[in-house]
Chains A and B, each alone.
Chain A
């Protein structure tokens, strides 16, 4: 059961990689967060820890509803072209994402999580989500994507933490959620400001600002 959900999580991550427009990206992010919620909920159900219930509730509230809502709001305010500029075209991105997945599988085996166990699968998925999030930040032109890239990486880290070590301390998780939320709001403001100042959020064109 959990394996299937993890696989679905990975699939939604691949969906993000091949997304060419902003609404698609945000939708895939929503799916990914939903599957993350399911994983946490199942873990809470199995271990019967109250805190995990609360955490999964926060995931669904913040990451599935609130953050995508804010991102959509920002996108609409900017009122510009929905295309995410792609440095690396989507087919090549998908190939790279698969390579990252293989790479994180090798990594999880080397880290000694036991081949074939559920934990190693979870760690694999977590690492690949992290790498793919970083890759998203690098290979997409719009500043917006970098915000989403951070959020994806956060998802991956959360998954890794909960699978490898049984979750982080409760308050750390609360704090991280709060952090993420605030960062999104701030980045929304920033992107708006960048757009207002430069009338575009194409980060590539900001390359004149160098030392």
Chain B
């Protein structure tokens, strides 16, 4: 049992290398960004501490994905969780940070407990902590044990990834951390949980039952919808982005779940394709969510508030940040020809191709899941129209936004790197899919040398269907050409004069920023349409001077936090009640405590004496 430090402690197979690439791609711009983000917020000593913690965080994540021993994996997993906890509560002046940190650390440790339980069961069968030894032993494991281990891993890693209903820490922890930390946490740390699922469930346990894939798919669809619906209601930029992380984890898990489903049905090429879709969305999400959080941090740093209802008109004051945020918003709404479009297209295509190849009711199930994915991408686009539009466009809504200035150079460079990567990952899709095919082939243990994924290096062609292609460079080219054609028509055919004047104000003379559409108003149709889930309620208060004259009227509209109210609060109430009941044995007297120990000792000796 004590063969902890075997020779092969690290494992750098394609999956680990892929995740290392994800980690470093997102962490490096954040580190560049942090140089000017932290300046002026804290004292120099505290900034140094923040940077050290950041480096420790990145290093621990890199080590988590590259070790091949369960115990060492757990050690680095814990280090990652603890360091990120410190980073979440770093701004100790705000009470919200402490609360967020508490929720985060409790949830992540609950998840770790489940992972440890799964490891213990695996060790029972394999008598070793090494991945390959466990993989060999898992082939002989009975099916019920595999099911239990799968569920333990799903809950354990799901807590860290943010699958609904275990996502509750995400909207608390991500807004409170500093923006570059949020970008790393949301972009990379959640993905290490997906790494855990892929590594332990697909690579080591081996998927044999189809209900695993179906469960993951259902959970993923629920996460997508819940995440995006809550995101639509949020007006704190970073909390909005945190809920979008929940949604995108759902989309990634759609790809992974499909891969599990197809592996269990014996469709290897489709499984490889679905896993490619999931992994592609993983790296895409890391990049554009990292970029969006950095932009949100720039906005926060420049204006001092995260509430988008108080912002507006920032596109004129912070043009570069606005451009980067727009690029990130376009990527997350899956607009061509950027990277989000490619990965969502791939996921949808995986559903469709799967539907062509499975039988009966499974087809309908896959179709409905695909429709739900389309719904979430539509809702996500709506949410980002709101986020970008209310924050950056129109007139400033408060003094916060009026005094904004463009941020410093390191922050802009950090954002630029990620923005360039978004475009590259969109245009070079065919190349990246070739790389990802190697990763998923090696993870699933399937030989991919006979799969042809692209004709030339610019077009994608999923092998298992005929005549389906996607070529983002061609698309971008045609979009550009038609844009130029439109511009030419514009120039040639029209009269050249443009007059700058006030916005149409229906004859009212003085319109100001109070007439602009607010974010709450923007999301009202969604609030009404999804009211069965959001359970909105309103509080109004009228202060009257007389019956006819109302001096002031305040109106608040809230949505019920369904998960907190119906799941977490009752569970917490039960836990506290039990703890209170057990407090009765604690009377405060040392003699009583010593007496407890003594009597236990005596009883133990009698007990052992019986045997």
Touch test A–B (CB under 8 Å): yes
Taking a contact as CB atoms under 8 Å apart, the answer to whether B587 and A210 are in contact is yes
Contact with B along A105-149 (1 / 0, CB 8 A): 001001000000000000000000001001101110100001000
Query: CA A204 – CA B595 in complex, angstroms?
Result: 13
Least CB distance, A19 to chain B, in whole angstroms: 17
Taking a contact as CB atoms under 8 Å apart, the answer to whether B594 and A211 are in contact is no
Taking a contact as CB atoms under 8 Å apart, the answer to whether B586 and A211 are in contact is yes
Contacts of A87 in B (CB 8 A): 591
Q: Which residue of A lies closest to B589 (CB)?
A: A207
Least CB distance, A151 to chain B, in whole angstroms: 15
Taking a contact as CB atoms under 8 Å apart, the answer to whether A135 and B598 are in contact is yes
Least CB distance, B95 to chain A, in whole angstroms: 24
Taking a contact as CB atoms under 8 Å apart, the answer to whether B588 and A206 are in contact is yes
Q: Which residue of B lies closest to A143 (CB)?
A: B590
Least CB distance, A25 to chain B, in whole angstroms: 17
Taking a contact as CB atoms under 8 Å apart, the answer to whether A107 and B609 are in contact is yes
Taking a contact as CB atoms under 8 Å apart, the answer to whether A210 and B594 are in contact is no
Contact with A along B570-597 (1 / 0, CB 8 A): 0000000000000100111111001101
Query: CA A135 – CA B602 in complex, angstroms?
Result: 11
User: Chain B binding site: helix, strand, loop or mixed by DSSP?
Assistant: helix
Contacts of A203 in B (CB 8 A): 589-591
Contacts of B587 in A (CB 8 A): 207, 210
Contacts of A146 in B (CB 8 A): 590, 594
Query: CA A138 – CA B583 in complex, angstroms?
Result: 21
Contacts of B609 in A (CB 8 A): 107, 110
Query: CA A99 – CA B554 in complex, angstroms?
Result: 77
Contacts of B455 in A (CB 8 A): none
Taking a contact as CB atoms under 8 Å apart, the answer to whether B594 and A134 are in contact is yes
Taking a contact as CB atoms under 8 Å apart, the answer to whether A137 and B594 are in contact is yes
Contacts of A208 in B (CB 8 A): 588
Cβ contact of A210, chosen from B586, B591, B597, B601, cutoff 8 A: B586
Query: CA A43 – CA B605 in complex, angstroms?
Result: 28
Number of interface residues of A (CB under 8 A): 19
Contacts of B583 in A (CB 8 A): 210-211
Q: Which residue of A lies closest to B609 (CB)?
A: A110
Taking a contact as CB atoms under 8 Å apart, the answer to whether A209 and B588 are in contact is yes
Query: CA A209 – CA B594 in complex, angstroms?
Result: 16
Taking a contact as CB atoms under 8 Å apart, the answer to whether B588 and A210 are in contact is yes
Taking a contact as CB atoms under 8 Å apart, the answer to whether B598 and A134 are in contact is yes
Taking a contact as CB atoms under 8 Å apart, the answer to whether A138 and B594 are in contact is yes
Taking a contact as CB atoms under 8 Å apart, the answer to whether B591 and A139 are in contact is yes
Least CB distance, B43 to chain A, in whole angstroms: 36
Query: CA A137 – CA B596 in complex, angstroms?
Result: 12
Contacts of B594 in A (CB 8 A): 134, 137-138, 146
Contacts of A211 in B (CB 8 A): 583, 586
Least CB distance, B125 to chain A, in whole angstroms: 37
Least CB distance, B566 to chain A, in whole angstroms: 30
Least CB distance, A135 to chain B, in whole angstroms: 7
Residues of A62-82 whose CB lies within 8 A of B: none
Contacts of B589 in A (CB 8 A): 203-204, 206-207
Cβ contact of B598, chosen from A110, A138, A141, A210, cutoff 8 A: A138
Contacts of A110 in B (CB 8 A): 609
Taking a contact as CB atoms under 8 Å apart, the answer to whether A204 and B591 are in contact is yes
Query: CA A204 – CA B592 in complex, angstroms?
Result: 10
Point out which of B586, B591, B598, B609 has the most chain A C-beta atoms below 10 A from its C-beta.
Answer: B591
Query: CA A208 – CA B595 in complex, angstroms?
Result: 18
Contacts of B586 in A (CB 8 A): 210-211
Least CB distance, B592 to chain A, in whole angstroms: 8
Contacts of B602 in A (CB 8 A): 131
Q: Which residue of B lies closest to A149 (CB)?
A: B594
Can you give 25 A-B contacts (C-beta < 8 A)?
Answer: A107-B605, A110-B609, A131-B602, A134-B598, A137-B591, A137-B594, A138-B594, A138-B598, A139-B591, A141-B591, A146-B590, A203-B589, A203-B590, A204-B589, A206-B589, A206-B590, A207-B587, A207-B588, A207-B589, A208-B588, A209-B588, A210-B583, A210-B587, A210-B588, A211-B586
Q: A138-B595, A203-B591, A208-B588 are in contact. List 18 more A-B contacts (CB 8 A).
A: A87-B591, A107-B605, A131-B602, A134-B598, A137-B594, A138-B591, A138-B594, A138-B598, A146-B590, A146-B594, A203-B589, A203-B590, A206-B589, A206-B590, A207-B588, A207-B589, A210-B583, A211-B586
Binding site for B on A (CB under 8 A): 87, 107, 110, 131, 134-135, 137-139, 141, 146, 203-204, 206-211
